[in-house]
């Protein structure tokens, strides 16, 4: 496996050290790999959201939307469900 050297600065070094010392991770490499996995997952989620937003925008331009669906209706619905 390739080794990569990173200069993270004092703040991130201290954070990584605390994650390892409290037992949450077994090594600094595990901390970094988990952070990269989370970043990758977030990017996939954002890309999916962008795709859905673009699809919704296209549908709206074609007139394919619910006329009576407003922000107020969404808020009222969420307040009733809370």
pLDDT (tens digit, 9 = 90+) per residue, 41-51? 999 999 999 99
Give the model's pLDDT for residue 15: 98
Give the model's pLDDT for residue 68: 66
**20: exposed, middle or buried (C-beta count within 10 Å: 0-12, 13-18, 19+)?**
middle
Whether the predicted model's global pTM rises above the 0.95 cut: no
CA distance 43 to 36: 10
CA distance 75 to 62: 26
Give the model's pLDDT for residue 72: 79
């Amino acid at each position: 496996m390739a080794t990569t050297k990173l200069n993270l600065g004092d703040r991130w070094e201290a954070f990584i050290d605390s994650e390892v010392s409290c037992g949450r991770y077994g090594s600094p490499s595990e901390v970094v790999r988990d952070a990269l996995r989370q970043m990758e997952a977030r990017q996939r989620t954002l890309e999916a959201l962008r795709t859905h937003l673009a699809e919704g925008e296209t549908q709206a331009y074609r007139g394919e939307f619910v006329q009576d669906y407003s922000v107020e209706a969404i808020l009222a619905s969420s307040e009733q469900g809370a």
